[in-house]
Chains A and B, each alone.
Chain A
Amino acid sequence: MEANGTKGLLLNEPLIFEKSSEGRVGVEPASFDVPRADAAALIPGGLLRDGLDGFPDLSEIDTVRHYTRLSQWNFGLDSGFYPLGSCTMKYNPKVNEDIAGMTGFTRIHPYQSEDLSQGALEVMYELEAYLAEISGMDAVTLQPSAGAHGELCGLLMIAEYFKSKGRPRTKVIIPDTAHGTNPASSHLAGFKVVPVKSEGKGVLTVEAVKAAIDRETAAVMLTNPNTLGLFESHIKEIADLVHSKGGFLYCDGANLNAIMGIMKLGDLGVDVVQFNLHKTFSTPHGGGGPGSGPVGVRLVLEPYLPVPRIKKAGKKFKLVTDRPKSIGRLKAFYGNFSIMVRAYSYIRRMGGEGLKRASETAILNANYIKERLKGTYQLAFDRPCMHECVFSDKLQQADGVSTMDVAKRLIDYGYHPPTVYFPLVVPGAIMVEPTETESLETMDKFIEAMRAIAQEAKTNPELLKNAPANTRVQRVDETRAAREPVLKWTGVKK
């Protein structure tokens, strides 16, 4: 098989500052219809700005071409298959972008009267209810800006619960398969992290939790399905155990795309979950945000949710801040509203049946790739998986080829690489999450490419080590970036 990535017409493009020419204005501000203020007279001398060194001056067309060219150096979900494990790179529906762009959603001020914001509050109120239904939770807040922000929110609520009972707890148990955000959020919430090993079993055992748990344990924090793509089959027993010690079960909802309509986390004994709207609910990743990380809780934790809450009184929606037990707020205003609008639109378009079908199909797709690539690449766990599967480079090591080489070679074939070297418990991990929006043909071509690369690893390993060859820039010297940091442009403006 030939690598099918080719170099398109990729134009070089300098930094925007190097295109600047003093005196140009792209889009000039409106003209003055009021007297021009005398800034020098009004603003105390010490507070008036002298210059704006280096700030670029470009014409509109040069700005447009600059960013257009930059965009052409990017690979997005619309460019091709993006099987990035743990990130749920499903199709971002265009209609959601149209809807989120409606002026009734974009041009509303967070402090405008509630009477003038009933549509926004209704969308938020209903989205909370939908997420509660999908997860089996009793109440949901939409305030957190991202998954990690949601984790912090959930953990702070747990901490506050114990404090309010006059018996603060100090520990959170986290398996070694967890995302790094889990221990980082726990630490930020004031907890000591107690790691538990999955010990090669792929899932957390009740015994492992039992050995770690005590009356200081505020929560067990797990991800289900976990980052190996495996369902935590002992979750109910683990929930019972942590509840018997008076603690909570936190589930990182990063992998919710595997279980919508199949299982509800609430039924499994989960007390707190955060949703990643930018994964499960199809909102775009934006090259690194903005996302949105709502949190669902059981009734016992409801009083601790951040303020404000949205309440419905008769037919009217209102914001309520008078909640003495609340942890307070995690940001200004109410959350990443325009992301919520997209997620709301996605849920309404799919309906309950559609969401279930999405999860079922995501599972089928992952198992299909797992079955068809096992043997070519070492499977970390040869058993049915949920929405993603994890391979490693064990079979390629003999050829002196690593996971990184396979990943970079995939780029030449026109694919975004899977997640690599995560989870940490699988050395050389290659984590593939196709999602439900990819067709059989797309997966077949990807499988073919992965097999061709395994073959190349044997016959021509240099091809992999020098990959990617078809991109505008080739392997990037990350060591130099760290040893000789250049974190901004420092040239002189023309």
Chain B
Amino acid sequence: MEFPKDLKYTKEHEWVKVEGNTATVGITDYAQDSLGDVVYVELPPEGGSVTKNEPFGVVESVKAVSDLYSPLSGNVTEVNDAIIDSPEAINEDPYGDAWMIKVEIGSDDDLADLLTADEYQKFIEEEK
């Protein structure tokens, strides 16, 4: 299982990639593996806003459903429509093709409590 070092993580199993003023958000390899085959994903509309620690969408496998929690607050600048048509991408490439939303960073404070790859890996070991 992979946990790229250049990403930040949440305890709700989302990853965040910060580039300039934009944060790209998706779910981790661990999350997709625990869910199993993803069959459906629901994302917010482009131009909408998300709030830190609040649900922004839903991801479903055949027998499980999970809320997606936003790691930060801000406006949604882009949504990955491709994964709505082919949710299997979430299983195949969680950190790449299957990014979910891009958010304009409102406050850097939002990012302060995110986990590093090592911290996240340790967290999921404990959770097991």
Contacts and interface: CB of A to CB of B under 8 A. Distances in A.
Direct A–B contact present (CB less than 8 angstroms): yes
Interface of A: 421, 478-479, 481-483
Nearest to B86: A483
Contact of A478 (B40, B60, B62, B87): B62
Contacts of A483: 37, 39, 87-88
A483 B39 CA distance: 5
A-B CB proximity, top 7 nearest: A482-B39, A479-B37, A478-B62, A483-B39, A482-B62, A479-B62, A479-B39
A479 B35 CA distance: 12
Contacts of B36: 479
A215 to B, nearest CB: 29
12 contacts: A421-B63, A478-B62, A478-B63, A479-B36, A479-B39, A479-B61, A481-B62, A482-B39, A482-B40, A482-B60, A483-B37, A483-B39
Given A421-B63, A478-B62, A479-B61, 14 more contacts: A478-B63, A479-B36, A479-B37, A479-B39, A479-B62, A481-B62, A482-B39, A482-B40, A482-B60, A482-B62, A483-B37, A483-B39, A483-B87, A483-B88
Interface of B: 36-37, 39-40, 60-63, 87-88
Nearest to A483: B39
A328 to B, nearest CB: 32
A2 to B, nearest CB: 32
A481 B37 CA distance: 12
A416 B80 CA distance: 43
Contacts of A481: 62
A421 B36 CA distance: 15
A335 B39 CA distance: 38
Nearest to B39: A482
B66 to A, nearest CB: 14
A481 B61 CA distance: 11
Contacts of A482: 39-40, 60, 62
Contacts of A479: 36-37, 39, 61-62
Contacts of A421: 63
Nearest to B87: A483
Contacts of B37: 479, 483
Contacts of B88: 483
A116 B17 CA distance: 75
A482 B41 CA distance: 12
Contacts of B39: 479, 482-483
A479 B64 CA distance: 12
A403 to B, nearest CB: 13
A483 B41 CA distance: 11
A483 B36 CA distance: 13
A465 to B, nearest CB: 16
A479 B86 CA distance: 12
